[in-house]
Every structure is written in C-alpha cells, then in structure tokens.
Structure 1
Amino acid sequence: MLATNVTVPFIEHDPELAHRWPEAKANEWMDKNDWLVGCNFIPSNAINQLEMWQAETFDPFRIDQELSWAADLGFNTARVFLHHLLWQQDPQGFIARIETFLTIAHRNGIRSMLVLFDSVWNPFPKLGTQPAPRHNVHNSGWVQSPGYDVLNDPLQYDSLMQYVKGIVSHFASDERVLIWDLFNEPDNMNLTSYKDDDYAMHKAELSMALLKKTINWVREINPSQPITMAPWKEDWSCDTKLTALDNYMFTHSDIISFHCYDDVKLTEEKIRHLRRFKRPLLCTEYMARPFGSTFQDILPLFKKYKVGAYNWGLVAGKTQTHCPWDSWSTEYQNEPELWFHDIFRENGEAYKPEEVAFLKEITKKKKEKLQKVA
C-alpha cells in the first residue's frame, strides 16, 4: 500500500518508500498499543549483545528474573539488540534463543523491539569469550554490528541479507515482536571512545547504503510489525537542517523513533519538531540523570504527547552504564554517587526507591486497563 502523501513517480526513484505504512495505519498501530513504556534491555551478566545471546552464556533464568522486575514497574516493552555474527555462527541456535527470550518476555507482559544493526562502541566484534569490563567504564565491551571491516566494504553488504531476511521472516507474524529497529545510531562516530574516523567514505554514507538495502530486504518480507530507525543527536528543527541520513530515517520509518538525553525543555522542543512528520513517536533512548533527563521530569512529558518511552538500562551490571559517558576519559575509582543510567542493582535493590515508586504510579492506569481487558 502506498503512503498517501507520496506520488508514484517519486516512488519509482525511491523504492524503499513503496511499502511504507500510511499515516493512518501507523496511528492505528500506536492507538492499539496504548502508551508504550519500557527500557533498553541486556541482562546484568552480559557485557554486550554477543555475551547475551551466545549459547555458552545465554541465561534464561537471569533474563526472566530481571524482566519480572521491569514488569513490576509497569513496563510493557523492551528494546533488545541482536547481532549478525550470531546468525552466521549458528542460525538455528540463534533463532531458538530468540524464541526463548520472546517467550520469557511475553510471560512478563513485555513485547520486544528487535534491533538488527548498531554503529556504537567497539567496531571490531568477535565471537567467543568476551572481555571483562574495564573498571567503571561505561559500556566498555559493547560491539557494533556490522563492524568496521564489513561496513567499510560495501561489497560485503549483501552477505548480511540472509541474517536480515532469516530473522525477520521467522518472526514476521509473531505478536511478541512489537516493531523492528533496523539500525541504531548509524552515523555515530564514537569520537569519545573508539574514534571511527578511518572509513574510506564517511560513515554516514556507508550506513545509509546498508540501510537502503536493509529496508528493501525487510519490505520484501512485509512483516506484520512496523519498522523504525534511530537518529540520535542532530538538529531536527526544520527540513533544511536535517542531515541526509536523518531525513532518510524520518521519511522512511513507519513509526518515527529518536534518542534524546536532554532536559525536559529541550526534549519537548524535539518532540514538537518531530510531530511535523505526522507519525507516532518513540523515544528509544533517554534518561541520563546528570543531564536532567530523569523519569520524574521526562515521563510526564512523554505521556502528555503519547510518545513511547525506552530508557537506557535496567540493571547495573557488566555494561556499567550506571557510569557516565566521560568515564572513557576520566578515571572513576568508585561507583558514581549519581548514576548515569540503570534502575536496579544486580540483587534487585532499587538505586532510587523514589524512582521505582514514581514509575509504578505513572504506569498504574495503563496496568489497570490491561488487567480489565484481560
């Protein structure tokens, strides 16, 4: 079905738009799902996507325990990162573990946003035993997908087709999967950590080339779930200020997602800017306490505008995302007094009990509505 505001001649030059959901369908999807509130999830005993999913370290018990804590907060969704190397290593085993995860999440009343590609942190991912965390360094072991060797070589992009098609086709009609996030922060240059500045072309151009292929692969399958992509930091105030990549992501997503770790004033400005696209909005990363991005300030704003909300982090563990971004350049001997991300300690103790009480209160009406329907 063609989007109502797109002409046929334009579609002929931009085939990725041919099967974009119409505005009405996107808004109907958002209404059906009520207010989405959740988190970016990785179990506390995994340092990255590979350790979360590899057969030797996949931990259904820990996942179940931690997702039950999320459900108790009133969360109804989780954003979860996959990785192409896991498919290349063992497609059937990877699918089986995703099935297990989705079963656990669904049992806890949580539907999953699955992320296919990611351009953040370590550009050289490797299967096998993952490194131990660096002392109090934020996300010291997180890995990109694909890594530098593949993203820097467009001739290798088609090797990722079976991963995308294999995963999406298997779960294309699965109601436990809420939405597909095709690419997380595709133009992130990681300048404060790994410094991705050694590409033959600009990373944003390479990522867009892969993203275009990925959209076509997914649209060929035509999953029942919508697709989105994750812009993260540029000026979105008007079309003339958009980067080519951000414009592409906003105009090709069924449901628009974005990242914002700003205070309430700047967050509201971004929401107002993005509403001009007339699509439902999901903020798939927020909540950085030192920046004024807190649950108490930001969630009422998201609820007012009916913006879906996914904070970064649930349980402080091997990712160490309770430590600040500048821990890559500033040494922290002790745990920061003010946590950056995350809600719970590994034993389930709340970092800030008042935050937990607030989350349960702001999601209470949503939970009561769901219970009545059930």
Structure 2
Amino acid sequence: MNFLKTTLCILAVCLSLQNCTKKAEDKKEVNETAQDSGRKIWTKEQANDWYKKQEWPVGADFLPSTAINQLEMFQQESFDTATINRELGWAEEIGMNTMRVYLHDLLFQQDSAGFIKRLDVFLDISEKHGIKPVLVLFDSCWDPFPKLGKQRAPKPGVHNSGWVQSPGLNALKDSAQYGRLEKYVKGTVAAFANDNRILAWDIWNEPDNPNTSSYGKVELPNKVDYVMPLMSKAFAWARSVNPSQPLTAGVWAGDWTSHETLKPVEKIMIDESDIISFHNYEGAASFEKSIKQLQQYGRPIICTEYMSRGNGSFFKTSLPVAKKYNVGAINWGLVSGKSQTIYPWDSWKKTYTSEPELWFHDIFRKDGTPYKKEETDLIKSLTASK
C-alpha cells in the first residue's frame, strides 16, 4: 500500500512538473509572438493614404563617387560626407527628392553604434537637400564574399567590380548567424522607426539573382532556397519594431500577369510588402506593361531601378510613363565614380579600355556636369511640374 501511495505521489509530482513546464513554454511562445508581431502589413487604404502625403518620388540609386560599395560608403575610415553633400546637392538641383541607398549587415556587426550614428549623419545631409531615401537592408547582387576593412580598387572598365552581397554566401547558408542578422534588421529599423527623413525600407534587393555572368560559378546553386525563409524572417523582424515607413521588396524578373504566375520568391515579396516596387531596364512599352500588371494589387508603386541606355531604357522614355501613372522612379546611378556603372553589364565578359560613348548608367560626371544636359533638363522639367 505504501509503495502504491509513493508511486502515485511521484506520478502526481511528474504531472505537475510537466504542466508547469508546458505553461512556461506556452507563456514563452506567447511572449515571443507578441514581441515579434509588431505592426501588421498595411492595408491598401493605409498604403494609399501614406502615398498621397508624399511628393512624387524621383531619384537615383546612390553611391558617392568615392565609394566602390556599401561598405566603403559607410565605414568610418571612408565615410565621405563632403562628397555625399556635394553630390546630393546636384540631385536636388534637378528636382530629385529620394535616393535608394544600400546598407550592409557587416557594418552593424563591426560597430553598431558607429554605423547608426553615420547613417544618422547621412540622413541629416539628405534632409538638407530635400531628399528622403529608401534604405536597402539586404542584397543578393555581385560579390558573395564581402569583407570589412579597406575595399579593393576597381577593376578597370568593369561594371560594379567591387559591389558586395549582404548577407554574404557564408552567412546566408549558416543559420547560426541568423541571430546576428536579426539584430541588424531590428536594430537598424528600430533606430529610425519613426523618422520622417526616411521614405521606405527595401528589405531585399533582387533576392534570387544568380549573378550568372559575374560570380555564377561560386554562387550557391540553390541560393533562393536559403533566401526565401530568411527574407520572410527579415520582413517580420522589420515589422516587429513598428516602423512608421512602408516595407517593400522589388520584383525584378518574372511573369507578373497574375498572382498565380509569380515565382514563390516573388509571392513573398509582393505579399509581405506595404507598397509595391519593381525593376525595369527595358523600353517604354515594357515599363508601362510592368506598371499595369502591378496595379492589380491596388497599392502605391515605385520603380526602384531603371535607366540603362545600352539596354534601351532612357529617361525620355520611362520617366514620362512613370509620371503618367504616378509611379515613383529611381534610376540606377547618380555620379560616375568607383562603381564604374557607366560601363555595361557585359563588361564582365568584354574588355573596355576607354569610357563608352554611350554611358550605361549614371547622370553626372565627377565635376558635376551632366553626361547629357537634355536628360537633366527633362528630369528638372518633370519634377518641377509634379
């Protein structure tokens, strides 16, 4: 009898401990969910109300001419405020009011406080020139092996010869580093969550870009399988700190006829975005087609990359179309510099020994003179009448 009583007591204690453990786990799960839930994806009405309060967004993907990539732009040793101020002044003169600017997870890992401080300085300079940037958190384009410190010199005549991915390949495939990436997203967005100097957060640039012509041989063959779950997490991390600015990720290569024709990665990009963004480096007809396809979502639209002269994408053809549909327009490149994006994409395979007669990207030379004055006149004219 005593043995039976003892056994029953032990069972009762075990059940009690299990219940306590389960309650603790349930409570932890609820707390984690509450912590990460943040705000919800904006409704169409919220997104459109926000857009009505903005100027027509017109600008460029910006890297100062003295920087080869995101790391060189924002690392303490090479943070060139004088050049940034001068070049954003040229953008202001032609009526631009936004810039798309790339950040990097390694900058936060290296010196989070210093990075946030330098980003704050950049935003002050931008605000002085009437520019509200779109800030890009992650990017799958070009070199998959980013390294902190002094960046390499440009390869002569090669388009974006030093641009680096964020996160790099090693971090992308290592889930043990996702905690670090979470701190980067939450820490960066939280620092500026209610900052009116920022137009929007671009969560991930061209997430499934395989970089076939440049780094294809060393890329992860199943890269998109790593990117998709991490991008979903990144959207959730950003929303968890309740940003007042919209989140987005721009579709760039696919069939956008309907939601059913989207690739899985594109469905995440569209479904998680407060506002719709896209890239188009084709002619006017293709540009307009992209806009019409994306209007099905009933949200504001911003083209965050366009204008590649050698590919048939020009200011004179695309920018008037963007204005017609009240679609934001951010072209690639402001000032010709260390990124060397005046050279075409095929410069990775073809040798260029002198400046191309037809610049691929960019608007100004390093001394501030326009590559084509008729282009800057057009931009100024269209932005003045917005």
Asked if these proteins are the same fold (TM beyond 0.5), I'd say: yes
| More off after superposition, 243-252 vs 117-126 | 243-252
Equivalent pair of 2:37/2:240 in contact (CA under 8 Å): no
Amino acid of the residue matched to residue 74 of structure 1? G
Q: 1:284 is paired with a residue of what secondary structure?
A: strand
Partner of residue 101, structure 1 = 122
Partners of 1:186 and 1:207 within 8 A in 2 = yes
Q: Which structure carries more helix by proportion?
A: 2
- The code of the aligned residue for 2:177 comes to Q
Match of 1:282 in 2: 302
Percent same amino acid among aligned pairs? 51
Q: Secondary structure at the match of 1:117?
A: strand
Q: CA deviation at 1:17?
A: 11
Is 2:326 the counterpart of 1:306?
Answer: yes
Query: Whole-Å Cα distance in 1 between the matches of residues 217 and 330 of structure 2?
Result: 26
- Structure 2: distance between partners of 1:260 and 1:118: 17
- CA-to-partner distance for each residue in 1:104-126, whole Å, 9 max, x for gaps? 00000000111100000000000
Residue 215 of structure 1: how far off its partner (Å): 1.3
CA distance in 1, matches of 2:134, 2:110: 23
1:205-262 CA-to-partner distances (Å, cap 9, x unmatched) read 2111111111111111111111001221111122232100001111110001011101
Q: How many equivalent residue pairs?
A: 352
| CA 204–17 in structure 1, closer or farther in 2 if over 3 Å, else same | farther
Measured in 1, the distance between the counterparts of 2:258 and 2:217 equals 28
Q: Is the 8 A contact 1:350 1:356 kept in 2?
A: yes
Q: Deviations over 1:161-189 (max 9, x none)?
A: 11111111010001001110010011101
Q: 1:16 touches 1:212 (CA, 8 Å); kept in 2?
A: no
Give 1:92's aligned residue. 113
Distance change >3 Å, CA 257–CA 35, structure 1 → 2: same
Q: Which residue of 2 aligns with 1:21?
A: 42
Larger C-alpha radius of gyration, 1 or 2? 2
User: What CA distance in whole angstroms lies between the structure 1 residues aligned with 2:140 and 2:90?
Assistant: 29
Alpha-carbon shift at residue 29 of structure 1 (Å): 1.0
Correspondence for 2:132: 111
Q: Cα RMSD (Å) of the superposition? A: 1.5
Kindly state the Cα deviation for residue 153 of structure 1 after the two structures are TM-superposed.
2.1
SS of match in other structure, 1:250: helix
For 2:331, the aligned partner's letter is: N
Amino acid at match of 1:342: D
CA distance in 2, matches of 1:84, 1:30: 29
1:189, 1:197 within 8 Å by CA — same for their partners in 2?
no
Output one character per residue of 1:73-124: Cα deviation in whole Å (capped at 9) or x when no partner.
1000011000010111111110110011000000000001111000000000
Give CA deviations for 1:50-95 in whole Å, capped at 9, x if unaligned. Answer: 0000110001110000000000010000110000101111111101
C-alpha offsets along residues 1-39 of structure 1, whole Å, 9 cap, x if unaligned? Answer: xxxxxxxxxxx9xx9897100000100111110311011
TM-score (norm 1): 0.92
Q: For 2:246, give the aligned amino acid.
A: P
- TM-score, normalized by length of structure 2? 0.89
SS at match of 2:203: strand
Structure 1 gap segments, 5+ residues each: 1-11, 367-374
Aligned match of 2:215 = 194
State the alpha-carbon separation in 2 of the partners of residues 17 and 336 from structure 1: 49
* Cα pair 1:77 1:112 within 8 Å, conserved: yes
Gaps of 5+ in 2: 1-32
Report the equivalent of 1:237: 257
Match of 1:160 among 181, 195, 201: 181
**Given that residues 261 and 291 in structure 1 are in contact (C-alpha distance below 8 angstroms), is that contact kept between their aligned partners in structure 2?**
yes
**Alpha-carbon spacing, 1:233–1:196, altered in 2? closer, same or farther (3 Å):** farther
CA contact (8 A) 1:17 1:252 kept: no
3-state DSSP class of the match of 2:249?
Answer: strand
2:351 equivalent in structure 1:
331
The one-letter amino acid of 1:290's match is: G
Partner in structure 1 of residue 84 of structure 2? 63
Residue-by-residue CA offset, 1:316-354 (whole Å, 9 max, x unaligned): 000000100000000011111000000001011110011
Q: Which runs of 4+ in 1 moved over 3 A?
A: 15-18
Note if 1:225 corresponds to 2:250: no
Query: Residue deviations 1:114-152, cap 9 Å, x none?
Result: 110000000000011101000110000000000000112
Question: Which residue, 147, 151, 157 being the options, matches 2:168?
Answer: 147
SS in 2 for 1:348: coil
1:56 counterpart SS class: helix
Deviations 1:265-301 (A, max 9, x none): 1111111111111111010000001222111110110
